[in-house]
Structure 1
Amino acid sequence: MSFLELADIRKTFGAAAVVKDFSLPVERGEFVTFLGPSGCGKTTVLRMIAGFETPSAGAIRIAGADVTHLRANRRAVGMVFQAYALFPNMTVERNIGFGLKVAGRPAAEISRRVTEMLELIKLPQLGRRYPHQLSGGQQQRVSLARALAPNPQILLLDEPLSALDARIRVALREEIRSLQRRLGVTTIFVTHDQEEALSVSDRIVVMNEGAIEQVGTPSDIYSRPKTRFVASFVGTLNMFEGRVVDPARGAIRLGETTIFAAAPIENAKAGDARTIALRPEALRCGPGGGGNVLSAVVEDMSFLGSVVRIKALFGEQPFHIDTFNAGGVAPPRPGATVEIGFAREDVIVLDRP
């Protein structure tokens, strides 16, 4: 049995269903990310796990116990919010110890635990400061420590990094992942940032319009998207419309060119329309490495530091090729006709056109 189980969860506000038939098992110690655009229902699911919202249907179980209608303060769940939510009139120490004090823990235990948490978040000298005397990153560390202080069974993170600048965001997400691994706490992380999701997660749940589009490891979600939505939302993809030639051989016709996928095309017959997706980094100027070749005309180039992005045209279809900036190797010039090679394994055939 899974440590956290969401079974056929549904949430409606009036006539509008914001979460639809959401089922997900989460193992103890797992780091799971809900990824999707604003308004897709990911925070609503998080709030139902926390006990701030009650499902309209379905069940929530933690360690085998049904907590669907249990109050939030009885779920042993810690939550970190986007806006820090620190008490401005309390010091860092008092903020971290607040939950323990409300739970009636002895003063000596609270003091010891607060000291442990300050060491854990690497702010041992700042316990006497107030929130306004801290940077945004420091405040979010304190929020994290406050959520962890009572030893919650589950840690919930609701877009905790979105208010921070890019450099601090990267550093703090690495710290959060490191702490989670060290403590082994089951964690649900909500974000709309695909890079965050890919970098920290054991599994990613991609959501759209209140429903799950795909669940998988970061590698699965990035390399093997199952729907057009996942393919377009996670990473950069070139998409082409084609026709199945021979599903058993993985053969698909793009314009006048036939390409091959690495596996048979499931649930398809000759003549069926399919969308083909190719990652820019999987393409290279020149044939070879798998046998698939497209003839294209270079239209433009963008220098992105370590990467050169080439914009090309396959017929009238624009697409991008990412190549490493290898010193001294000049990319093809605009107007040049080039062969673009890619392997069968790099061909993503989406389930629906």
Structure 2
Amino acid sequence: MVIFFIYASIVMICLMSCQVYYLLPNKSSFDKIVFRLLLVMLFHVSFAAIFIDIVKGYQYVDRGAPLGLLYGPILYFAFMAYEDKKPKVKTVFLHFTPFLIFLGIYFYFLTSEVFRVNFSKTYYFVLYSSFGLSWMIYPIFIMFKGRGLDIAMSNIKRIFYFSIILLLVLAAFILPLISAQFLTQIRNTSQLSTITIYMIMLFGAIIIYNYLLKELVDRKTVHSEFDFLNRPFPMVEAENPILELQMPNHKLTNYQDRVLNYLNQQPYLDPGFSLDTMVKDLKMSRSMISQFFKEYFKQNVLKTINSLRIEAVCKELEQPDFDMNIEELALRCGFSSRASFYRNFSLEKDCTPVEYREQIKSKLL
């Protein structure tokens, strides 16, 4: 009876979360990955309820399914979306390769009774060991990758911390279980194992719902505060600097004034500058700042900041007495990576910094 209550709770919370997701304005890449996670959880719990507790005699259909191998990669790609990085197809395929391999074995496991009779224990052992390793490796990797994150900073960071904790708890639960009991006492421990795993999944569903609900409230507030931006707004001409606040604009709200005046102080020239720096300095929510950049600059925060940095580089290159190493200039203007600097400069100006300097020198002659 307890397990049915847990199943029903997860399904209900996932469906409520999906409804909140559809109400979200300006869905980010991170939001879309969270939605895919909800769909996986919804399918996973429905699959388990049907084959473990509703249809008798088919428990192996659920227990042999490699769905647990999806959660680690989803967490990883959510982290990439948080960092505003788009994964390559090769990277996506690489991270989902274990799932695809076990999926092929799983189909054979379902269709071959001989395989189930002779190798089911070995298959379960290898599969659940893979679950445990995936649930341990991905959270630890993300903990080190994002060790500078501040838990109090944003809803997204909170969801990462809680997700990491839940996956590590699952790993801590499943690895000792399979090493000590799985091969010999699976029937005695299966009910306890099922309840424990799906209770953790229930906590995960609650965390996701809480995140989406907070984001909905924040974004609805932001949308109403920046509603006038939906009307035509005089944008900066391409040949002029991206920031131009020489004269005060009575149309700007306090939020816009704060962001634009802040950017005019050029904090982005610090290589350590990021969206999180803006959140902390301006004491505005991450979603509010992101919304402003999308509405005002028509691009995301990272692209705008890189454009501003390239603009600062060009101003230096245009000086008649310019005499500085290009890499040193890139660092002074906020680029900590040489490759990132050259890539962004080429995208913005369709030439290299040296070529740009030569063009300026020819005009000065």
Q: Is TM > 0.5 for Structure 1 vs Structure 2?
A: no
Per the normalisation by structure 1, the TM-score is 0.27
Per the normalisation by structure 2, the TM-score is 0.26
Give the structure with the larger helix fraction.
Answer: 2
